[in-house]
């Protein structure tokens, strides 16, 4: 099966999430399946612009969010994080058939900032109940990817400078470091093998910067003490199904 187009002869719409979609599901999903894709590398190399869903910075100091880099392209680059797991873990959502058009429209608005649509083969984790799967074998899924030719793509970053940048970025969606730590936690929860050293190393560096800055950067608290946290919630991932896009947008405004 090729991954270059939408699934032939199938109305199923599966969406692969490797970033905030892991802990912030789209509306109208029927199933959420843990698993992985190959041939990509996850990196914090995408600028989040102010009108994007994950606007964790300001126009003057935009934060950083993840994108997927094609592994064959990444192998030609000099990356301070010189290795990357063979499997990029995330989740695939099956969208209700009667809501596919609505969700696609919603996602286009939500994610378009530099990201483009790609189809990839998603491999469900071995632990997934086969009754939840349409068939055995990989599933064709849509992923939003910020490719190197998009304006928000920044390319290889020095990890310490990137960590400091993330530490200092904050926007209407919250602290950039919370996005990073949410991702680290969400990945740890997917499977015993789903950690991503790029994400873990950045998380540790940001905790160290926070500690140096006098903030409580410990992994257990994960909430900086010197910022106004009145609008922030502790990290807790539940995956209740959002019934409407209006409800989803309300949830996002308050999360």
Catalytic positions are: 111
Question: Residues 13, 20, 47, 99: which binds ligand BEZ (CB under 6 A)?
Answer: 20
Contact 6, 12 (CB under 8 A): no
How many residues in the shown chain lie near ligand BEZ by CB under 6 A?
A: 8
State the helix-helix crossing angle for 159-168 and 176-190, rounded to 10 degrees. 110
72 burial type by CB count under 10 A (0-12 exposed, 13-18 middle, 19+ buried): exposed
Residue 238: count other Cβ atoms within 10 Å of its Cβ: 6
Q: Rounded to the nearest whole angstrom, what is the least distance from the CB of residue 24 to ligand BEZ in the complex? A: 8
**Interaction between residue 79 and ligand BEZ (CB under 6 A):** no
- Give 24 or 165: the residue with its C-beta nearer to ligand BEZ: 24
**Interaction between residue 89 and ligand BEZ (CB under 6 A):** no
Candidates 16-24, 29-37, 56-64, 192-200; binding stretch for ligand BEZ (CB under 6 A): 16-24
Candidates 15-23, 98-106, 166-174, 242-250; binding stretch for ligand BEZ (CB under 6 A): 15-23
Q: Rounded to the nearest whole angstrom, what is the least distance from the CB of residue 220 to ligand BEZ in the complex? A: 25
Instruction: Tell me phi and psi for residue 116, to 5 degrees.
Output: -125, 165
- Hey, is 140 helix, strand or coil? strand
**Residue 248 falls in which region: left (phi positive, over 0), alpha (psi -120 to 50) or beta:** alpha
Task: For tokens 């301070």, name the residue.
Answer: 80
Rounded-to-integer distance, Cα 170 and Cα 61, Å:
8
**What pairs with residue 141 in β-bridges?**
120
- Give 55 or 165: the residue with its C-beta nearer to ligand BEZ: 55
Candidates 19-27, 56-64, 76-84, 166-174; binding stretch for ligand BEZ (CB under 6 A): 19-27
**Interaction between residue 115 and ligand BEZ (CB under 6 A):** yes
Q: Rounded to the nearest whole angstrom, what is the least distance from the CB of residue 133 to ligand BEZ in the complex? A: 20
Site for ligand BEZ in 116-155 (CB under 6 A): 144
- Using CB under 6 A, list all residues that contact ligand BEZ: 17-21, 111, 115, 144
């Amino acid at each position: 099966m090729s991954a270059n187009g939408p699934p032939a002869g199938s109305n199923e719409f599966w969406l692969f999430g490797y970033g905030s979609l892991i802990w912030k599901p789209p509306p109208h999903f029927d199933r959420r399946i843990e698993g992985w894709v190959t041939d990509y590398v996850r990196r914090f190399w995408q600028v989040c612009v102010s009108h994007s869903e994950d606007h964790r910075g300001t126009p003057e100091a935009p934060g950083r969010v993840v994108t997927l880099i094609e592994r064959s392209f990444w192998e030609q680059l000099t990356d301070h994080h010189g290795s990357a797991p063979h499997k990029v873990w995330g989740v695939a959502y099956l969208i209700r058939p009667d809501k596919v058009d609505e969700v696609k429209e919603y996602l286009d608005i939500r994610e378009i900032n530099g990201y483009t649509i790609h189809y990839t083969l998603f491999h469900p984790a071995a632990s997934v109940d086969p009754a939840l799967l349409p068939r055995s074998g990989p599933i064709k899924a849509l992923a939003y990817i910020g490719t190197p030719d998009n304006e928000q793509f920044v390319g290889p970053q020095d990890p310490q400078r990137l960590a400091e940048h993330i530490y200092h970025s904050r926007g209407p969606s919250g602290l950039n470091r919370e996005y990073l730590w949410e991702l680290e936690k969400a990945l740890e929860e997917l499977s015993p093998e789903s950690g991503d050293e790029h994400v873990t190393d950045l998380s540790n560096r940001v905790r160290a910067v926070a500690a140096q800055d006098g903030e409580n950067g410990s992994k257990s608290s994960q909430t900086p003490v010197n910022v106004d946290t009145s609008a922030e919630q502790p990290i807790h991932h539940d995956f209740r199904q959002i019934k409407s896009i209006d409800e989803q947008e309300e949830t996002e405004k308050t999360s």
